[in-house]
């Protein structure tokens, strides 16, 4: 008999040991996987930066350009002694608009509501703004849940942003449904549109290799896998459903809330 916790030496001798070539192949395989993951993360980061740059250029940049033009006009009128009260009002309005756009961009990067009140409140705030910007009708079905851990709430919020952005850019859908539910120790977020769907070959390529659909879905998958969850994408001519399921551990801080509708139709 052998003491508890000690293996039979004969069994250890009989267990085949991997050859040097097999170990080298395993190291190379894992190194390649790590490099692929690192490259994906960098692409996701670059995509986020590109979006931020475009948002600043297309909105705040244009506002500040108009403000600069009005300031030049003011300078000319002040030199000639012409009335400039209307121009002063325009400058003030443009400055207010630029401040609002910068505040909105800052909130989109990391909304204070996400940390202060949780995912439901942040989702409702974001969807209200999305509806105004896109004219897409969004119905929220957010169950009453306890506060989730910070990494999970951030991941769900980023996935919500990404899926709504995809709907606006690619689906041509005029409506969307967002559902959040929690059962036992899992939380499920589902975003559904009713547009033209993802081409079958691209969706198949993504499911097989994680490529073919841009960095958006790849970023979602990495976020969810990092949390031990699953990403499911179902797409056809009638639209697309993006569903993420993550294991959760509720936090004592904060309480659940029911969010019905965000600038759209309550269910």
Among 37-41, 64-68, 161-165, the minimum mean pLDDT is found in: 37-41
**Residue 267 maps to a domain:** no
Q: Are residues 90 and 150 in the same domain?
A: no
Within a domain: 30: yes
Q: Do 135 and 222 lie in a common domain?
A: yes
The answer to whether residue 20 is domain-embedded is yes
Q: Are residues 257 and 135 in the same domain?
A: yes
Q: Which residue has the higher pLDDT, 135 or 70?
A: 135
The residues pairing with 231 across neighbouring beta strands, listed in sequence order, are 244
Residue 239 lies inside a defined structural domain of this protein: yes
Question: Which residue carries 């306890």 as its tokens?
Answer: 146
Enumerate the β-bridge partners of residue 175: 137
pLDDT average, residue stretch 98-122? 77
Same domain, 59 and 142: no
Task: Tell me which residue range forms the domain holding 78.
Answer: 1-109
pLDDT at 212: 52
Write the CATH number for 135.
3.30.565.10
Final residue of a structural domain among 109, 130, 152: 109
Q: Are residues 29 and 125 in the same domain?
A: no
Task: Tell me how far apart the alpha carbons of residues 227 and 66 are, in angstroms, rounded to a whole number.
Answer: 45
- Cα separation, 199 vs 9, whole angstroms: 57
Could you say which of 75, 109, 143 is where a domain stops? 109
pLDDT winner (highest mean) among 23-32, 40-49, 195-204, 227-236 = 227-236
Q: Is the pLDDT of residue 141 over 80?
A: yes
Does residue 130 share a domain with residue 87? no
Whether 242 and 211 share a structural domain: yes
Is residue 240 one of the residues assigned to a domain? yes
* Cβ neighbours for 211, distance < 8 A, ≥ 6 positions apart: 205, 218
Whether 191 and 97 map to the same domain: the answer is: no
Whole-model pTM: value is 0.62
Predicted confidence at residue 179, as pLDDT, reads: 96
The top-scoring range by mean pLDDT among 66-75, 160-169, 208-217 is 160-169
119: left (phi over 0), alpha (psi -120 to 50) or beta: alpha
Number of structural domains in the chain: 2
Among the candidates 53, 85, 109, a domain finishes at 109
16, 124: one domain: no
Residue 266 lies in a domain: no
Cβ–Cβ < 8 Å for 232, 189: no
Shared-domain flag, residues 118 and 100: no
CB atoms within 10 A of CB 38: 10
CB 191 within 8 A of CB 241: yes
In a domain, 229, yes or no: yes
Residue 199 shares a structural domain with residue 182: yes
Tell me if 19 is assigned to some domain. Answer: yes
Separation CA 149–CA 50 (nearest Å): 28
| Residues 229 and 152 grouped into a single domain | yes
């Amino acid at each position: 008999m052998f003491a508890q916790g000690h293996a039979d030496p004969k069994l250890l001798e009989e267990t085949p040991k991997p050859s040097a070539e097999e170990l080298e192949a395993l190291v190379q395989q894992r190194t390649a996987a790590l490099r692929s993951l690192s490259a994906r993360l960098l692409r996701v980061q670059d995509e986020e930066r590109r979006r931020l740059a475009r948002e600043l250029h297309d909105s705040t940049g244009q506002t500040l350009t108009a403000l600069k033009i009005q300031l030049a006009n003011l300078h000319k009128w002040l030199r000639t002694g012409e009335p400039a009260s209307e121009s002063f009002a325009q400058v003030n309005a443009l400055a207010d608009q630029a401040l609002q756009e910068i505040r909105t961009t800052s909130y989109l990067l990391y909304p204070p509501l996400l940390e202060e009140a949780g995912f439901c409140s942040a989702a409702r705030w974001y969807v209200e703004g999305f509806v105004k910007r896109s004219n897409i009708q969004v119905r929220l079905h957010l169950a009453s849940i306890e506060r989730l851990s910070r990494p999970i709430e951030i991941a769900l919020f980023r996935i919500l942003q990404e899926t709504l952005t995809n709907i606006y850019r690619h689906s041509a859908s005029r409506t969307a449904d967002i559902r959040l539910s929690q059962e036992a120790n899992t939380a499920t977020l589902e975003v559904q549109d009713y547009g033209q769907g993802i081409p079958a070959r691209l969706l198949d390529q993504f499911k097989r290799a994680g490529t073919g659909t841009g960095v958006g879905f790849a970023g979602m998958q990495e976020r969810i896998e990092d949390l031990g969850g699953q990403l499911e994408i179902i797409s056809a001519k009638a639209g697309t459903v993006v569903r993420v399921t993550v294991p959760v551990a509720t936090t004592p801080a904060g309480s659940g809330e029911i969010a019905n509708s965000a600038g759209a139709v309550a269910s």
